[in-house]
Amino acid sequence: MNNVDRITLDPLIMGGKPCIRGTRVTVGTVLGLLASGCTHEEVLQHYPYLAADDILAALSWAAWRSEEVEMPIGSQ
């Protein structure tokens, strides 16, 4: 996963959702903007304190997370 150090998880920040490091901007926010049709440049205009690499890190995180398989604890 590229730029993993740009994504942080802290239970005291945004309820533990993955965020762009040093901000309260969640990976979900970035993905939502991109999914709604915003370009990378528009995302950076909305959040000028983000960098282009932050957007790539959010995409990389989402791609990695979508491949993860969650298994219930115990049998059944």
- For residue 10, being part of any structural domain is answered with yes
Q: pTM of the full predicted structure?
A: 0.84
Q: Print the domain residue range for 44.
A: 4-67
- For residue 74, being part of any structural domain is answered with no
Which tens digit of pLDDT belongs to each residue from 4-61?
Answer: 789 999 999 999 999 999 999 999 999 999 999 999 999 999 999 999 999 999 999 9
- For residue 73, being part of any structural domain is answered with no
Residue 1 pLDDT exceeds 60: no
Q: Could you give phi then psi for residue 22, rounded to 5 degrees?
A: 75, 10
What pLDDT is recorded for position 69? 74
Higher pLDDT, 38 or 72: 38
- For residue 36, being part of any structural domain is answered with yes
Nearest residue to 60 via CA among 17, 30, 37, 33: 30
Question: What CATH number does the domain containing 13 carry?
Answer: 1.10.10.10
- For residue 18, being part of any structural domain is answered with yes
Q: How many domains does the chain have?
A: 1
- For residue 76, being part of any structural domain is answered with no
